[in-house]
Each structure stands twice: as C-alpha cells, then as structure tokens.
Amino acid sequence: MSRSVNAADLSRTFTREFEVDGDKCLVIHQSEIGDVGCVVWDAAIVLSSYMRTNDFILHDRRNVLEGKRVIELGAGTGVVGIHAAALGAVVVITDLEDFVPLMQKNINCNRAAFSHEITARPLKWGENQQEFLPPPDYLMLADCIYYEESLDPLVLTIKDLCGPKTIVFCCYEERLTDAKIALEMKFHKLIDKYFHVEKIPLERQDVHFRSEDIHILKMRLKK
Ligand SMILES: C[S@@+](CC[C@H](N)C(=O)[O-])C[C@H]1O[C@@H](n2cnc3c(N)ncnc32)[C@H](O)[C@@H]1O
C-alpha cells in the first residue's frame, strides 16, 4: 500500500548544485509543486556527501564505487543515485511511477558527469522488486522512514533485493514527535531481524554535511 502522490510539475522547477570531486558539478531539479519526493531532503545530502569521504569511497586507494551496481530506493529527485553514478557506479534510481519523469530529467541534465549507465525506473516497495535482481553491490536510501503503512513493504524490499554481499546504506532524519519515534523504533526492530546494522559515527561522516539528528546505517543481511 502507498499513499496517493502528486506528480512533480516539471514546468516549475528550481535547482540545487552539488560539487563532486572538485571538478564535477551536479545540477538537481526540484519541483515547486508535488509530493515529498519533489525536493532534496537533508538525509540525501548527508548520504551523498558521505559517499565522497575517504571513509566510504576508498579501499586500498581504489574507488569502491567504480563499476559497482547501485540501486536507490525512494529516490525522489534521484540525488543520491546520481552522486553514486558521478562517482563511477552503474545505477538504477527508483521511486513511485509519478517520480520517474523528475528522476529522468535529473539524469538527462547531468549526463556529462557519468561514465556508466544510470536509469530511472518505477519501484513500489513490496511489489515488483524481482525485476531488479540480481542483487546490487550497494542499496541506498535516504529519508524513506516516514509513514507507518510503508515500513513492512520497505523492509521486505530491502531484504529481497539484498544478496549476501550487498551493502545497504540507509540514511534518515530523527524526528521527535511520538508517532515518528515509534515509527523509528519499529523500523529498527524490523531491520534487526534480518540485518547486521552498524551506525556510521558522526566523525567518519563529511565534516560539512553531517548532523546529530541524521543517521547513516550500514547494513548487511544476516546469514
Ligand atoms: C522524504 S522523500 C525522500 C526523497 C529522497 N530520497 C531524498 O531524501 O531527497 C521519500 C520518498 O519515498 C518515496 N516513496 C514513498 N512511498 C513509497 C513506496 N511505497 N514505494 C516507493 N517509493 C515510495 C516517495 O515518493 C519519496 O520520493
């Protein structure tokens, strides 16, 4: 089940720019009108920025994303997946059908930054995830924990898309209403059943784009 959404209005957008590697600049269109996915959320900026840190990107001086398969869930504008593509990954960004045109627009605007394929496709949590197999190397999601009915299908989708080697990065903003606190607790209970979960400490995150109330979880399927 998902909420009814308003599609992004592509005739009325405003942009936000992100520097990658010092030489590439990504331009992300956000829609003035539409549902929550029409704009870039802070958790997406924190996760995108973390991807550029040495803590994430370098292993034995090699770029861990180069040529790796990445799927982003609930991508909205597609900003996280677009960062991963600009850092060398082969990416599929996904969201509800209504957001595919906005994601596609953002892919088209940043073509020069990509060395591998990046596509935008519909994926409704709990539904057609088999079409996205084999499991990706990385599964990314930012600010996707925000309404009760979606929690079970979201966790099911994460679990079903993962293989034994998939690494999930889930970034979310802590919100302090009773309902959101309960939601976050429920999410943790669900993921703890299936995943080993490590929280990336603040000091390993990007020095400029990090926040006490935004968390990055690194998860792997339990055997
Ligand atoms: C708060 S927005 C975050 C967007 C983007 N990740 C960011 O952080 O900028 C949540 C996203 O989840 C998507 N979403 C909500 N329910 C969904 C569902 N059932 N299946 C797939 N995507 C869903 C929304 O369309 C929206 O783009």
- Per-residue pLDDT of 72-115, as tens digits, reads 999 999 999 999 999 999 999 999 999 999 999 999 999 999 99
Please tell me if the CB atom of residue 142 comes closer than 6 angstroms to any atom of ligand 1: yes
By most ligand atoms within 8 Å of CB, the mutation choice from 16, 28, 93, 95 for ligand 1 is 95
Calculate how far, in angstroms, residue 88's C-alpha sits from the geometric centre of ligand 1.
Answer: 24
- 125 CA → ligand 1 middle, Å: 10
Ranges of the chain with pLDDT below 50 = 1-2
Which candidate, 25, 26, 29, places its Cα nearest to that of 15? Answer: 29
Query: Ligand 1 centre from 53 Cα, in Å?
Result: 25
81 Cβ below 6 A of ligand 1:
no
The pLDDT score that the predictor gives to residue 191 is 97
φ, ψ dihedrals at 181, nearest 5°: -65, -45
Residues 6+ apart with CB under 8 A from 123: 73, 94, 95, 129, 132, 157
Which pLDDT score is estimated for 105?
Answer: 96
What's the pLDDT at 5? 63
Compute the residue count for the chain. 223
- Domains by residue range for the chain, with CATH: 13-221 (3.40.50.150)
Ligand 1: which of 96, 125, 131, 170 to mutate, judged by most atoms within 8 Å of the beta carbon?
96
